[in-house]
Amino acid sequence: MQLDLSADAVTLTRQLVDIESVSKDEQEIADAVEAALVPLSHLSVTRRGNTVVARTDLGRSERVVIAGHLDTVPVNDNLPSRLEGGILHGLGTCDMKGGDAVILRLAATVPEPVRDVTFLLYDGEEIAAEFNGLRHLAESDPDLMAADFAILMEPSNASVEAGCQGTLRVEVRTSGERAHSARSWRGVNAIHGVAEVLARLNSYEARRPVIDGLEYHEGLNAVRISGGVAGNVIPDECVVEVNFRFAPDRSEAEAETFVREFFEGYDVRLTDSAPGALPGLDRPAAKAFVEAVGGEVNPKFGWTDVARFTGLGIPAVNYGPGDPMLAHKQEEHVPVEHIERCEARLRAWLEGR
């Protein structure tokens, strides 16, 4: 598949969507992106694995990164794309190939922006952090991620979503003693033992802190339960996997401490953790961008790679077409108007209009 960067952003979104790129299978789409960008003389293009970086080098006083991931969750009978009544349907339309199309259009058609730009399209965002293309790039070529400000084009209803919540997962274990189920009183049922774990979760009241005028909403939920030995055996272990989405005013260590205290008395094992990102709306670059694209700002409840930029000391926001509530759903779609609005506003900002 060849990408036509002279096409409008909606057509380009369809071209990207119709290249299947489930996580760990991004080579074809990365090849197409690289092939489309290399001929553009105003950009220097670098590829690392299936991450493609294109940069202007005009000596401007400010540099901005505009980034988007190329991978999607697995196909769910939602390819190829289709356009109906101003709505583009298909896997990745919302999360986040509409944003990727805007990035590519800007890269191709704004050769002399008023600020230098690093256009960054990367792999491995939808799976474990060890596969994340931004993480790998930060380790191998941190200079390619250097910037004064970053925009991650995750779906945000074509308005700015600031910061993001952190996320961690723990396993809460209950122990028992095996016995024949015909003589269950001779054992201790570990599955029955999780009743109190679930009761605590049901009684949890979400914390809703206000940060920089934005209200975040934490969440603590069981997401998986596993246990059992055989149909005639009392189980001696059961594991409840719990996901904690925490507001960005908590550190990872503070979030872990909260969860361990919440499940006091149980064996709690941390399995995954990623920090949140404070809104950073007091930074001049962030203020200027928010004003340029309409002034509306909402909190980001999910985790995004905004946190990765924030960890590097680069203020960052989410800004992209599509409703984040539709991400990963079979009926994923994006309004054409969102794609067009994001492109127009970013173009005006990059051109200084």
**Bridge partners for 316 per DSSP:** 150
Distance CA 154, CA 160 (A): 10
Residues 6+ apart with CB under 8 A from 176: 187, 188, 189, 190, 191, 192, 193, 234, 235, 236, 237, 238
Structure tokens at 316: 């960052």
DSSP string, 319-332: --SS-GGGTT-TT-
Distance CA 40, CA 61 (A): 23
* Catalytic-residue membership of 57: no
Distance CA 329, CA 325 (A): 8
| Residues 278/314, Cβ–Cβ less than 8 Å | no
Question: Active-site residue among 26, 34, 95, 125?
Answer: 125
Distance CA 327, CA 76 (A): 12
Distance CA 71, CA 159 (A): 22
| Residues 352/126, Cβ–Cβ less than 8 Å | no
56: three-class secondary structure by DSSP: coil
The H or E element that residue 54 is part of is strand 51-55
Distance of CA 332 to the CA centre of its chain: 16
Question: Active-site residue among 26, 34, 71, 343?
Answer: 71
Cα–Cα separations (whole angstroms), residue 162 to 18, 218, 248, 290: 30, 15, 11, 10
**Going by DSSP bridges, is the β-strand pair 44-48/82-84 parallel, antiparallel, or unpaired?**
unpaired
Residues 6+ apart with CB under 8 A from 185: 179
* Catalytic-residue membership of 125: yes
| Residues marked as catalytic | 71, 125
